[in-house]
Amino acid sequence: MKDMDDIAAMMAGIGARAKEAAAELACAPAHARQAALEAAAEAVAAGEAAIIAANAEDLAFGREKGLSSAMMDRLMLDGTRIGAIVSGLRAVAAQKDPVGEVIAEWDMPSGLNIRRVRTPLGVIGVIYESRPNVTADAGALCLKSGNAVILRGGSESFHSSRAIHACLVQGLKAAGLPEAAIQLVPTRDRAAVAEMLRAVGTIDVIVPRGGKGLVGLVQAEARVPVFAHLEGICHVYVDRAADPEMARKVVMNAKTRRTGICGAAECLLVHRDVAATLGQQIVEDLMAAGVEVRAEGMRGSRPATAEDFGREFLDMIIAARVVDDIDGAIAHIRTYGSSHTEAILTEDDAAAERFFARLDSAILMRNASTQFADGGEFGMGAEIGIATGKMHARGPVGAEQLTSFKYLVDGHGAVRA
């Protein structure tokens, strides 16, 4: 399988089977997709020992390769984590089915009745790093939305992903759905990724899920549409009209609840009028909680440098800067943000309105923690990621966001004048 032609042929076969499965899935009933997900959950629960054994192989490989402890942690599966995969599959199974939903319906004077109806996108390619649970999450969301999916996980999680994928296929079989509805690329060769990115006419959209390196590669090389998932360089702006207690509480949560997720705050902006008082207090709160504050215009752990702004730390570090006013905050975010999530803390309605109108991030929040940037917290059930592009899907990408639509028109014999 090292030969490039072999990889190309293999991926063409996977693509053709995915397309065929997608056509079948698009008219399969909702209850079959739901049954498949429930059966897959059963299979994962029953297969715990086998999955953990496969994971042990990956962990040994990772240790040999010298993976960082953070990466080893993401790779590791135990009973608790497998339990979470099982309940994730069940939760997606129980979600409302998006396919066939009538999004809008209207009549025209010509006599046409027009319905806009949700349809699957077709074939989705998911390229992700070595987090075996994404195999289940992504597979489940794509199936729920009636799409066939081609999964390409990180090479370090190869065996774990294969074991989980086998359970998903068991679920498909049990429900009488085509096995090719969820395929896992059976090679670690990176040439397979390149083939996916060029699969125009076969793969309808690529969802990259991972760090800056992966997403950058996908965006640079892809010839098929991509749901952009850039970094989460989330800003929190403390306005002069902020409620002080609320601001302290929200900033602390936005930075420290979990530092490794894309909704974690990476930069604190403070209005000049409250910089020495509330702003300084918040900086001290953060430092007391063990956060390194790289500050400009305030006393922090150390002065900020130019590189600290627009940076995704994903760690107990935050950049902080004093701005002259709300427009200064907006200008800073326009320059350094990644269009993911930004929050304003203010009791001033006009300030909040200006912040909401003049910024165009996927998610804008008032008096709430940026850590809420999450499909579950938005009521969408699971998510395959947070899209930062403007096209098609934006913000948390759940099953509904993995659909398109078509128009169904009933004319009773209407002809156009």
Q: Which of 9, 84, 110, 260 binds its own copies (CB under 8 A)?
A: 110
Rounded distance between C-alpha atoms, residue 133 and residue 160, angstroms? 9
In the region spanning residues 254 to 313, those forming contacts with its own copies, defined by CB under 8 A, are 254, 257
Q: Which of 7, 206, 218, 250 binds its own copies (CB under 8 A)?
A: 250
102 binds its own copies (CB under 8 A): no
Assigned token pair, 263: 């909704």
Q: Where are the beta strands (DSSP E) in 135-284?
A: 148-152, 182-184, 205-209, 234-238, 265-271
In angstroms, what is the minimal distance from the CB of 127 to its own copies? 17
Q: Which of 17, 240, 255, 394 binds its own copies (CB under 8 A)?
A: 394
Compute CA distances 268 → 275, 295, 299, 339, whole Å.
11, 9, 13, 16
Residue 344 contacts residue 366 (beta carbons within 8 Å): yes
Name the residue nearer to its own copies (CB basis): 173 or 358.
358
26 binds its own copies (CB under 8 A): yes
Query: What is the four-CA torsion angle of 246, 249, 253, 254, rounded to 10 degrees?
Result: 40
366 binds its own copies (CB under 8 A): yes
Neighbours of 279 (CB within 10 A): 27
Question: What phi-psi label fits residue 361: left (phi over 0), alpha (psi between -120 and 50 degrees) or beta?
Answer: beta
Nearest Cα residue to 314 out of 211, 214, 207, 208: 211
Q: Which of 62, 279, 395, 398 binds its own copies (CB under 8 A)?
A: 395
Compute CA distances 252 → 111, 275, 282, 376, whole Å.
58, 16, 8, 21
The residue range among 32-40, 42-50, 90-98, 385-393 that interacts with its own copies, by the rule CB under 8 A, is 385-393
Name the residue nearer to its own copies (CB basis): 130 or 147.
147
Query: What is the four-CA torsion angle of 21, 204, 158, 135, rounded to 10 degrees?
Result: -80
377 binds its own copies (CB under 8 A): yes
In the region spanning residues 199 to 238, those forming contacts with its own copies, defined by CB under 8 A, are 204-205, 225
Assigned token pair, 347: 């009791």
In angstroms, what is the minimal distance from the CB of 397 to its own copies? 12
Q: Are strands 386-387 and 395-396 parallel, antiparallel or unpaired?
A: antiparallel
Name the residue nearer to its own copies (CB basis): 49 or 108.
108
378 binds its own copies (CB under 8 A): yes
Q: Which of 130, 133, 145, 371 binds its own copies (CB under 8 A)?
A: 371
Q: If residue 20 lies in a helix (H) or strand (E), which one and from where to where?
A: helix 4-26
Q: Which of 140, 362, 382, 397 binds its own copies (CB under 8 A)?
A: 362
Neighbours of 378 (CB within 10 A): 15
In angstroms, what is the minimal distance from the CB of 48 to its own copies? 28
In angstroms, what is the minimal distance from the CB of 311 to its own copies? 19
In angstroms, what is the minimal distance from the CB of 263 to its own copies? 8
Name the residue nearer to its own copies (CB basis): 186 or 411.
411
Q: Which of 47, 88, 98, 122 binds its own copies (CB under 8 A)?
A: 122
94 binds its own copies (CB under 8 A): no
Nearest Cα residue to 339 out of 372, 290, 292, 373: 373
Q: Are strands 113-120 and 102-107 parallel, antiparallel or unpaired?
A: antiparallel
Rounded distance between C-alpha atoms, residue 228 and residue 225, angstroms? 9
In angstroms, what is the minimal distance from the CB of 62 to its own copies? 30
In the region spanning residues 328 to 357, those forming contacts with its own copies, defined by CB under 8 A, are 334, 352, 356-357
Nearest Cα residue to 91 out of 411, 379, 392, 401: 379
61 binds its own copies (CB under 8 A): no
Assigned token pair, 169: 């296929």
The residue ranges that bind its own copies (CB under 8 A) are 23, 26-27, 106, 108, 110, 112, 114, 119, 121-122, 204-205, 225, 243, 246, 249-250, 252-254, 257, 334, 352, 356-358, 360-369, 371-372, 374, 377-379, 390-392, 394-395, 404-416
